[in-house]
Structure 1
């Protein structure tokens, strides 16, 4: 099924200068000294589109006036397109600040067209823009519905009904002939299609007929798909000096959404990101503050990254006001989507557990959340060390660190901080009750470079059926060595 989603950004010139999350005291965008976009506060003061600059200043003297910047608008549109690449790799830019997404192959992945449209609209809002969304079986049809805010159409029949009621001025090639069309009583696209095609082509040109054919599926459409850059580097200039780190989360979320689209386009997952907080430039310029996020498990989802950034920014004290943000992804790897198990593990998946650990590390500090790391040592006290949760320990590397013959005999999960000397009763070690040896011995002779150990370890069982890990020391220098037993660990 071929289905297109069109996103038209009608307020793009205004929102480039006045994002929805900012505190707006009144903003007006000018082009050739005339108002082309204005905020709600300026509208309440009496400013209207097409008004000259002098009249707008008289009505709203405290309003902020900005000149239209086409490069900034193009940059904002490119940022939106990059973020929407997470939904489909086939995304094209159309006329008049509109993006076209071929989502026919993405419907099942995102749960249908309604859920997909909701997620697309939610992403556009998170970027700080207001968009008009529509969908149709053809790209030009979706573009026309989005430009006129005429709803959605899932079949060709419903699309034709909606298009027939739209005004012909919606089509760019027809705008130069609106007076002639109105003079002959052609006020809708449906009436325009019923005109004789040869005469319409001679009067208005071939471009008008091609656009009508594209919208109604009578001609194959050709598009130039947006290509994501080879590496990710996104910047955002703030609209004011920000002195509170938590207030930067809105801009950071916008950059993370672009990162999500870039990762999906290249089928990659990120292991480490860097958020650079840029301070004042010029003579008092200082180095940017770096907020680095290390991930135990690579991800390509924005929700987890935003949660980690929120925790880090909440604890950050800014050395100077921030005027810009920059997000980089220096460490990525190929995406490996998790396989769905027929019988999922209770309590969440492995990825959920890793996200919890990463959230704790961001909240408590990486040095306060530790994990066990094996060491190449036979001595139980030295066979394990505790390192930060952000330290990468690959399973293969962990097994390689262990001696080859370790693990052939049982070892307990819990070791005592210090071995406990046991008394002897009836020639047996005693710990609450006489202990019976239940395994063969594991001899350890190691540590000649430091703390030398010569021990024989055994698993023992008490009368309460509890299992203990004992060892007896061997004094090779004594003529009649005395048997001394110690409790070193407990079995679960």
Structure 2
């Protein structure tokens, strides 16, 4: 199924200056001393598109006036396009602040056109932009629907019915000839298509006919796809000086949206992310504050990264106000294919556990989340050490550290062996203990305090199992009988 989604950004000239409507105090964008766009607060004060600068200031003296910034608008549109690459690798820029997406091959992956459109709208809200969506079997058809207020048509026939009543002023090639069209009574696209083609081409040129044919699927469409760069680095200028790190999360989320689109387009997963907090420039310039996040497992989704950044920003104390953000994908690797396991693991996948550990490290600190690390020592109390969970230990290296074991080891090892009583020449612990295994002899530690022990699995009267050892004869001078100790408990 061939389907296109077009995103029209009607407030792009204004939204590159206004981060949030809730914080808007009245913003006006000017072009050649005339009002091009107004925020809701300024519109409520009486400012209208087309006013002159003086009229806008008369209606809203407190309004913030901005000159239109075409460069910033192009950068913002490109940032939106990078974020949309997570849904399809075929994204193109069109005229009049519009983006085109060929999503025919992505419908099954994202659950259909309705769900895909909802995901695109959610991404636009996270980026801080307003978009009008149009969906149609042709790119030009989707463009016309988006420019007319939005709508969806999944077949050529339904699209033709929706395009027919649209005004004839909608196609850009028709706008220089609107007076002529109105004089003939051609007010809709259906009226334009009923005009004689040779005469329409002589009067208006070939561009209008080509646009109408492309929109109705009667001519091929050519596009220049946006390509993801080989490396990722995105910047964002803040609209004010920020003095609290947790207030930077919204800006970091906008940059994460772009990075996820880049990762999906390049088929990469990120292992290490760096967020640079840029401070004042000039005479009071300071080096950026770097926040590095190392991931145990490579990821390419933004929800987990956003949680980690939220925890790190909440613990960051700013030495100076922040005026800009820069996000870098410091270390990436090719994206691994999905698992081919038929049944999922009952306790969650390995990636889920790694994400939990990373979230705990970001919240509690690296030195407060530990994991067991086997050591090359035969003595049970020294055979394990606790290291930060972020320290990577290869499986082969861990296996090499483990000494060969002939008997099972208990789940609970006492911090210090407990001496046992002897009754009728048998060790006693709540009841007489009966040995149910052969001896496991351990002789180690000759360079410090040597150990010469024979370990046994013992069973009590309640059928509980214990790990006990007997010091060999001669281990302690002046004692004729070896002593018994309790060292561990079996579950």
TM-score per shorter chain, which class? Answer: over 0.9
Is 1:489 the counterpart of 2:478 in the alignment?
Answer: no
Is 1:382 the counterpart of 2:382 in the alignment?
Answer: yes
CA deviations on 1:363-401 (whole Å, 9 max, x unpaired) are 222211111122222221222111122222333332233
**Match of residue 74 from structure 1:** 74
Matched ranges for 1:75-114 at <5 A: 75-114=75-114
**Which ranges in structure 1 are unaligned for 5 or more consecutive residues?**
none
**How far off its partner does 1:358 sit?**
2.1
Change (3 A) 1:179 1:250: same
Whether the aligned pair in 1 keeps the contact of 2:236 and 2:251 (CA below 8 Å) is yes
Whether the aligned pair in 2 keeps the contact of 1:471 and 1:488 (CA below 8 Å) is yes
Is 1:365 the counterpart of 2:395 in the alignment?
Answer: no
How many Å separate the matches in 2 of 1:252 and 1:21? 18
Matched ranges for 1:385-400 at <5 A: 385-400=385-400
Choose the corresponding residue for 1:419, options 398, 409, 417.
417
Segment drifting more, 312-321 vs 94-103: 312-321
Whether the aligned pair in 1 keeps the contact of 2:437 and 2:457 (CA below 8 Å) is yes
Q: What secondary structure sits across from 1:108 in the alignment?
A: helix
**Match of residue 462 from structure 2:** 464
**How far off its partner does 1:253 sit?**
0.7
How many Å separate the matches in 2 of 1:27 and 1:227? 34
Whether the aligned pair in 2 keeps the contact of 1:21 and 1:250 (CA below 8 Å) is no
CA deviations on 1:308-342 (whole Å, 9 max, x unpaired) are 21122222222111111111121222222543754
**How far off its partner does 1:345 sit?**
3.7
TM-score calculated relative to the size of structure 2: 0.95
**Match of residue 191 from structure 2:** 191
Matched ranges for 1:68-467 at <5 A: 68-339=68-339, 341-403=341-403, 406-467=404-465
TM-score calculated relative to the size of structure 1: 0.95
Segment drifting more, 458-467 vs 252-261: 458-467
Segment drifting more, 273-282 vs 111-120: 273-282
Change (3 A) 1:173 1:481: farther
Q: What secondary structure sits across from 1:448 in the alignment?
A: coil
Whether the aligned pair in 1 keeps the contact of 2:88 and 2:101 (CA below 8 Å) is yes
Q: What secondary structure sits across from 2:284 in the alignment?
A: coil
**How far off its partner does 1:179 sit?**
1.4
CA deviations on 1:160-193 (whole Å, 9 max, x unpaired) are 0011111122111111111111122111111111
**Match of residue 42 from structure 2:** 42
**Match of residue 58 from structure 1:** 58
RMSD: 1.9
Whether the aligned pair in 2 keeps the contact of 1:20 and 1:129 (CA below 8 Å) is no
How many Å separate the matches in 2 of 1:407 and 1:150? 70
Q: What secondary structure sits across from 2:218 in the alignment?
A: coil
Q: What secondary structure sits across from 2:104 in the alignment?
A: coil
**Which ranges in structure 2 are unaligned for 5 or more consecutive residues?**
none
**How far off its partner does 1:359 sit?**
1.9
Change (3 A) 1:430 1:311: same
How many Å separate the matches in 1 of 2:301 and 2:411? 35
**How far off its partner does 1:297 sit?**
2.2
**How far off its partner does 1:346 sit?**
3.8
Q: What secondary structure sits across from 2:10 in the alignment?
A: coil
Q: What secondary structure sits across from 2:443 in the alignment?
A: strand
Matched length: 490
Change (3 A) 1:289 1:150: closer
Whether the aligned pair in 2 keeps the contact of 1:124 and 1:131 (CA below 8 Å) is yes
Q: What secondary structure sits across from 2:106 in the alignment?
A: coil
How many Å separate the matches in 2 of 1:449 and 1:271? 42
Whether the aligned pair in 2 keeps the contact of 1:150 and 1:162 (CA below 8 Å) is no
Q: What secondary structure sits across from 1:325 in the alignment?
A: strand
How many Å separate the matches in 2 of 1:223 and 1:450? 76
How many Å separate the matches in 2 of 1:209 and 1:449? 93
Q: What secondary structure sits across from 2:282 in the alignment?
A: coil
Change (3 A) 1:246 1:480: closer
How many Å separate the matches in 1 of 2:370 and 2:186? 74
**How far off its partner does 1:479 sit?**
10
Change (3 A) 1:455 1:14: same
**How far off its partner does 1:103 sit?**
1.0
Whether the aligned pair in 1 keeps the contact of 2:406 and 2:440 (CA below 8 Å) is no
